[in-house]
C-alpha cells in the first residue's frame, strides 16, 4: 500500500506530458504500486472560477474510481482566500463533493502566509476537520515561463498560525530543505505539520531532512506528472530508513490523516 499525497490531473499550460488523461495518470502510478493518490487539477493554479475547477475534479475522480480501479483518487479542492467567494467554494468542497482536504497556492494566487484572509481560511478548514496542503514552490525559477513568475512561499508566519489554531493539520508540498531550523523545527514539533520531499535534493537529502523533522512528519508526495513518481520512491530507498519507517511514510501516516475509504 502506497499513498502519493501530491498528484495533479488536468492540463499544465507550458508543456505536454506523455500521460494524457486521468486513466493514463492512474496507469503510471499503478505501475509503481501506488494505490492511493491525493489529487488536484492544474487548472486550480491558473483559473479564477475555482467552483468549476473543483466540480470537474470531483467528476474526474468519481469516474476514475469506478469499479476496482487503482490507484484510488482522493480529490483535494483548490481554495483561494483572496477570492470573495472562498467560503462558498469551501462549502461546496465539503458538502457537495465530500472532499477531505484542500490545496493552497499562495505563490500563484498572490498572498503571503501572514495574510489575515489566509488565517480565516485555515480556521475554517480546521473547524470542518479538513486537511490542508500548502504548496511552497510550483516550479524551479530557471524553467518558469518569463510571463508567469511563480515565487516560492516564505514560511515565516506559518508556525504562528499553527500555534494559534490547535486543531489545524496541514502538509507543506514541495518543501525546500534550505528553510532554516527556526521555521522548520516548530512546525515539525507541533506534530500537526507534515512534509513531502519531492524537491528535497542531494545525496542523502531525504535522510538529512528526516533527521531534522522526524520520520513521523514525512509523507510521500511525488508531484506527478511534473516530476516522475519513481523519483520520490527512490529517494526514500536511498535514505536507508528502517522498514517500519518506510512503510509508515508510504501509507500508514497518510491514511491516518485521510483514510483511503
In three-state secondary structure terms, 5 is strand
**Cα(114)–Cα(237) distance, rounded to whole angstroms?**
36
Least Cα distance to 240 among 205, 190, 189, 212 occurs for 205
Residue pair 258/100 in contact by the 8 Å Cβ criterion: yes
Print pLDDT tens along the chain (261 aa): 999 999 999 999 898 998 889 999 999 999 999 999 999 999 999 999 999 999 999 999 999 998 877 899 999 999 999 999 999 999 999 999 999 999 999 999 999 999 999 999 999 999 999 999 999 998 887 887 888 888 888 999 999 999 999 999 999 999 998 899 999 999 999 999 999 999 999 888 999 999 999 999 999 999 999 999 999 999 999 999 999 999 999 999 999 999 986
CATH architecture for the domain at 3-257: Alpha-Beta Barrel (3.20)
Domain residue extents for the chain: 3-257
Quick one: pLDDT at residue 177? 87
Least Cα distance to 62 among 11, 104, 103, 9 occurs for 9
Q: Is the dihedral of CA 42, 44, 46, 47 positive or negative?
A: positive
Quick one: pLDDT at residue 215? 95
Please name the residues in contact with 123: beta carbons below 8 A apart, sequence gap of 6 or more.
Answer: 165, 168
Amino acid at each position: 500500500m502506497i499513498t502519493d499525497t501530491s498528484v495533479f490531473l488536468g492540463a499544465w499550460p507550458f508543456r505536454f506530458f506523455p500521460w494524457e488523461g486521468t486513466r493514463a495518470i492512474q496507469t503510471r502510478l499503478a505501475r509503481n504500486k501506488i494505490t492511493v493518490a491525493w489529487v488536484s487539477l492544474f487548472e486550480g493554479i491558473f483559473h479564477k472560477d475555482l467552483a468549476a475547477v473543483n466540480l470537474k475534479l470531483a467528476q474526474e475522480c468519481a469516474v476514475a474510481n469506478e469499479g476496482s480501479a487503482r490507484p484510488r483518487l482522493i480529490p483535494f479542492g483548490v481554495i483561494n482566500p483572496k477570492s470573495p467567494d472562498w467560503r462558498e467554494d469551501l462549502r461546496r468542497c465539503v458538502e457537495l463533493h465530500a472532499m477531505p482536504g484542500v490545496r493552497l497556492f499562495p505563490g500563484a494566487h498572490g498572498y503571503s502566509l501572514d495574510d489575515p484572509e489566509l488565517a480565516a481560511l485555515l480556521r475554517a478548514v480546521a473547524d470542518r476537520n479538513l486537511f490542508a496542503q500548502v504548496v511552497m514552490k510550483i516550479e524551479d525559477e530557471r524553467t518558469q515561463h518569463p510571463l508567469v513568475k511563480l515565487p516560492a512561499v516564505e514560511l515565516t508566519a506559518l508556525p504562528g498560525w499553527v500555534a494559534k489554531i490547535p486543531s489545524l493539520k496541514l502538509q507543506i508540498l514541495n518543501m525546500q530543505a534550505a528553510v532554516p531550523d527556526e521555521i522548520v523545527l516548530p512546525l515539525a514539533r507541533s506534530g500537526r505539520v507534515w512534509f513531502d520531499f519531492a524537491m528535497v535534493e542531494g545525496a542523502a537529502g531525504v535522510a538529512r531532512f528526516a533527521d531534522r523533522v522526524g520520520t513521523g512528519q514525512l509523507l510521500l508526495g511525488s508531484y506527478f506528472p511534473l516530476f516522475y513518481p519513481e523519483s520520490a520512491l527512490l529517494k526514500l530507498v536511498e535514505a536507508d530508513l528502517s522498514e517500519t519507517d518506510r512503510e509508515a511514510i508510504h501509507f500508514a501516516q497518510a491514511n491516518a490523516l485521510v483514510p483511503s475509504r
